[in-house]
Amino acid sequence: MSNRTKEQQVLVAQLKQVALGLGETFAPFCEVVVHDLLDAEHAIAAIHNNLSGREVGDPATELGLARIGDAKYPQVIANYSNRFADGRQAKSTSIGIKDSNGKYVAALCINIDLTLFGALQNVVGQFARTDDSAGTNEKLDPPGAEGIRMRIDQFAARLATTPRALKTEERRLLMRELRESGSMDVRRSMEVVALHLGVSRATVYNDAK
């Protein structure tokens, strides 16, 4: 501990603050751990939303030891598959922190419990499931609306922008193209255009003049 430089002490201290903020933001399904790589035998310097059952003062992991032994070890390893001690599936990201001499001082590790998300995915999937066996063909969208939206998207893409970011002159040019293509003959076309552009129908009428 006494051999630490002031810079190394500051880096570890600041990383603890980053971990605290991340832990509070992504609680309760995200464990955030600070590893002090200058003290391999007691590497865990802070742990928030403890999901792994480890404690402050526990030794470095294999990944931490790899960084301690090799300054060229990748600084960021993102979204790798992991597991907690009880078998729960996790997704982890590890970020190594170096000092000005290129030596690994610490690491910030983020471990996300995927169990909750798996259950949520099943619930959402069940909720979004539809039954087409009855043969109902009802559509709430006006006929031709999808074609209008597609033309608008294509027009915006040519200008390297989004429909809602189109300027007045660009919208007027768009309306001219829609009119010439016959798209404006579709029932409720003005409403479809207004909703897709994020403007009022009055604005669309004005742009179409």
Same domain, 42 and 98: yes
CA 169, CA 7: separation in Å to the nearest integer?
55
Same domain, 15 and 111: yes
- At 36, the pLDDT band (50, 70, 90 cuts) reads very high
Same domain, 31 and 109: yes
Which ranges constitute the DSSP H helices of 95-144? 115-128
CATH number at residue 52: 3.30.450.20
Same domain, 204 and 111: no
Predicted pLDDT of residue 71: 94
Q: What is the mean pLDDT of the chain?
A: 90
- At 129, the pLDDT band (50, 70, 90 cuts) reads confident
| Domain that residue 204 falls in | 145-208
Give me the percent of the chain exceeding a pLDDT of 90: 70
Predicted pLDDT of residue 121: 79
CA dihedral 157, 158, 162, 168 (to 10 degrees): -160
The yes-or-no verdict on residue 122 having pLDDT over 90 is no
Among candidates 52, 96, 50, which has minimal Cα distance to 76? 96
Same domain, 103 and 155: no
The yes-or-no verdict on residue 14 having pLDDT over 80 is yes
Predicted pLDDT of residue 136: 60
Same domain, 104 and 160: no
Same domain, 34 and 98: yes
CA distances from 97 to 35, 36, 171, 178, 183 (A): 10, 10, 49, 54, 56
Total number of domains in the chain: 2
Q: Residue type at 204?
A: V
The residue among 71, 100, 115 that closes a domain is: 115
- At 138, the pLDDT band (50, 70, 90 cuts) reads low
Predicted pLDDT of residue 34: 98
- 175 domain residue, yes or no: yes
Least confident of 1-10, 28-37, 49-58, 166-175: 1-10
Same domain, 96 and 149: no
Q: Residue type at 92?
A: S
- 110 domain residue, yes or no: yes
Q: Identify the residue with better confidence: 174 or 142.
A: 174
The yes-or-no verdict on residue 142 having pLDDT over 80 is no
CA 146, CA 194: separation in Å to the nearest integer?
13
Least confident of 16-25, 125-134, 180-189: 125-134
Same domain, 204 and 104: no
Q: What is the arithmetic mean of pLDDT over 142-154?
A: 86
Same domain, 152 and 204: yes
The yes-or-no verdict on residue 158 having pLDDT over 70 is yes
Same domain, 158 and 99: no
Predicted pLDDT of residue 119: 74
